[in-house]
Structure 1
Amino acid sequence: MAKEYDYLLKVLLVGDQDVGKTEILNNLDQDPTNEEATYKTTIILLDGKRVKLQIWDASGQGRFCTIIRSYSRGAQGIILVYDITNKWSFQGINRWLKEVDEHAPGIPKVLVGNRLHLAFKRQVAARQAEMYASRHKMACFEISPLCDFNIRESFCELARMALHRNGMERIWRTNKVLSLQELCCRTIVRRIRSVYSIDTLPLPASVKSHLKSYALTSTHNNFYMNNNNNINCNSAKNITCKSPTSSKFSAKNNCSIS
């Protein structure tokens, strides 16, 4: 049977107690076959590829260093969760981040501010969280499980970062869905003999200008080189040379083009 996913990633969900990690997990589609497991799974669609996430909830209870050591083995990404209505949970991110950098250096991370639906009780400004995430090279999202806002987006971004880190992005890059404009440009450019043929097309001047720019990009230069080579080869086939042994051989007129 065909696999139900293309990639499998282990994701660690960390943060202080009562920041809403369970709320986040409950919002995702879960695998009914592993309800008793210590992790939950969900499948996301990323650029046409199915990515299965194993999401491990590292509880905020106990010593966080012990939790990171035991759960970080084999993890490809980490979600750092804080509560936007609790400034202490945001300050606690420093401790988690320190342990993550020590036991899982270089692993992709996403900072998530939970309970955006309680923004009227906000204690952590969005700009403050964005600046903090930028300093530590993390993506940043504010989410709300109650409103189903930005949850899948945050996991998709983490999956993209993880696959890019492991060199997988090049595999699916060619499968990305093209925009309608790019698809039309590609179709037209493939059917013309040269870039100068664009001027003869019954199209508005602005469209012609865009087509010329598209046709002259490095991606399509090889097409024109190959096309010109084919023309030169076809022309060469029509060239006939007289044999030097011929009695009418002349140094000035030894070849003729039919």
Structure 2
Amino acid sequence: MTISNMTKDYDYLLKVLLVGDSDVGKHEILSCLEDASSESPFCSGNAYKTTTILLEGKRVKLQIWDTSGQGRFCTIIRSYSRGAQGIILVYDITNKWSFDGIDRWLKEVEEHAPGIPKVLVGNRLHLAFKRQVLAKHAELYASRNNMSCFEISPLCDFNIRESFCELARMALHRNGMERIWRNNKVLSLQELCCRTIVRCTTVYAIDSLSLPTSVKSTLKSYALTTSQSIHNINHGTRFKYQCKYPLNHNRNSCAIS
């Protein structure tokens, strides 16, 4: 971990590895970080992206190293683990083989970077109808291995930054900054549905949607309270809200699932 001086635009610098089997969507995750910039300090094969997150008023710059296409996993960890403060272990929730492969990655991580903070990430939550890995199984696995666990969707921009924020908290906690870090809430799929619908419309246009009255009332409440929570966060408070209705949204209408 590097602490900045007055001339730098961040307070802490963390090196993060993004690892997992091929085709689990690591590039999708990086692409979702809109403010991330690509850098290649050594050669084109060792590029990383940087992005800055804000945690309790501190600017944390992340160097996110994508190990895609770099050969066998053991070689990757040996090459990239030097100086790393955190690791994101990625699997595809629609591919059980990719989840089983986490064991191989975890073994190499513990051998070459013992004790490093880790977050287990189940990618492609928007394809939950094709799910092959149950969330409770992933959570149990993460708990046994002292990891946080998130399910994410780059397509819907769901829980991407939350997972990186949690890893940053863990890394900074490990370096003696535990006083400012708090556990990060893993948002529910139901709240994702509410967030997605509200983002595409206004509170006044919700009545025109093809939805039951009770669902429209919930969405209007969500839209209003979410707006209020942003105001509260700016004043140092936090707001917690959970949508009560799971929703499916198709081309022409929405319906209760």
* TM-score, structure 1 as length reference: 0.65
Q: Which amino acid aligns with 2:13?
A: L
SS in structure 2 opposite 1:133?
A: helix
C-alpha separation in 1, matches of 2:98 and 2:236: 42
CA separation of 1:179/1:25 partners in 2, compared to 1, >3 Å: closer, same or farther? closer
Q: Which amino acid aligns with 1:154?
A: S
Question: Comparing 161-170 with 25-34, which one deviates more in the overlay?
Answer: 25-34
- Contact 1:115–1:145 at 8 Å: present in 2 too? yes
Q: Which amino acid aligns with 2:154?
A: P
SS in structure 2 opposite 1:161?
A: helix
Q: 5+ unaligned residues in a row in structure 2: which ranges?
A: 1-5, 183-234, 239-257
> Alpha-carbon deviation of 1:178?
4.9
C-alpha separation in 1, matches of 2:38 and 2:149: 32
SS in structure 2 opposite 1:8?
A: strand
> Alpha-carbon deviation of 1:33?
6.5
1:31-80, Cα deviation, whole Å (9 max, x unpaired): 54737660000000011100000000112552111100000000000000
User: Would you say 1:130 and 2:139 are equivalent positions?
Assistant: yes
SS in structure 1 opposite 2:29?
A: helix
Q: Which amino acid aligns with 1:15?
A: G
C-alpha separation in 1, matches of 2:73 and 2:60: 28
User: Would you say 1:160 and 2:165 are equivalent positions?
Assistant: no
User: Would you say 1:7 and 2:12 are equivalent positions?
Assistant: yes
| Residue 90 of structure 2, aligned match among 78, 81, 88 | 81
User: Would you say 1:103 and 2:103 are equivalent positions?
Assistant: no
User: Would you say 1:90 and 2:99 are equivalent positions?
Assistant: yes
Q: Which amino acid aligns with 1:3?
A: K
C-alpha separation in 1, matches of 2:50 and 2:163: 15
SS in structure 1 opposite 2:153?
A: coil
C-alpha separation in 1, matches of 2:7 and 2:162: 27
- Contact 1:15–1:60 at 8 Å: present in 2 too? no
Aligned-residue Cα RMSD (Å) equals: 2.2
| Residue 47 of structure 1, aligned match among 40, 56, 69 | 56
| Residue 127 of structure 2, aligned match among 118, 142, 150 | 118
- Contact 1:49–1:172 at 8 Å: present in 2 too? no
Structure with bigger gyration radius:
1
Q: Of Structure 1 and Structure 2, which has the larger fraction of its residues in helix?
A: 1
C-alpha separation in 2, matches of 1:40 and 1:143: 19
1:85-133, Cα deviation, whole Å (9 max, x unpaired): 0000000000000000000000000000000000000000000000000
Q: Which amino acid aligns with 1:72?
A: S
User: Would you say 1:143 and 2:152 are equivalent positions?
Assistant: yes
SS in structure 1 opposite 2:155?
A: coil
Q: Which amino acid aligns with 2:119?
A: V
User: Would you say 1:16 and 2:21 are equivalent positions?
Assistant: yes
* TM-score, structure 2 as length reference: 0.65
- Contact 1:30–1:42 at 8 Å: present in 2 too? yes
C-alpha separation in 1, matches of 2:173 and 2:71: 33
Q: Which amino acid aligns with 1:29?
A: E
Q: Which amino acid aligns with 2:25?
A: G
Q: Which amino acid aligns with 2:118?
A: K
C-alpha separation in 1, matches of 2:180 and 2:122: 32
CA separation of 1:60/1:94 partners in 2, compared to 1, >3 Å: closer, same or farther? farther
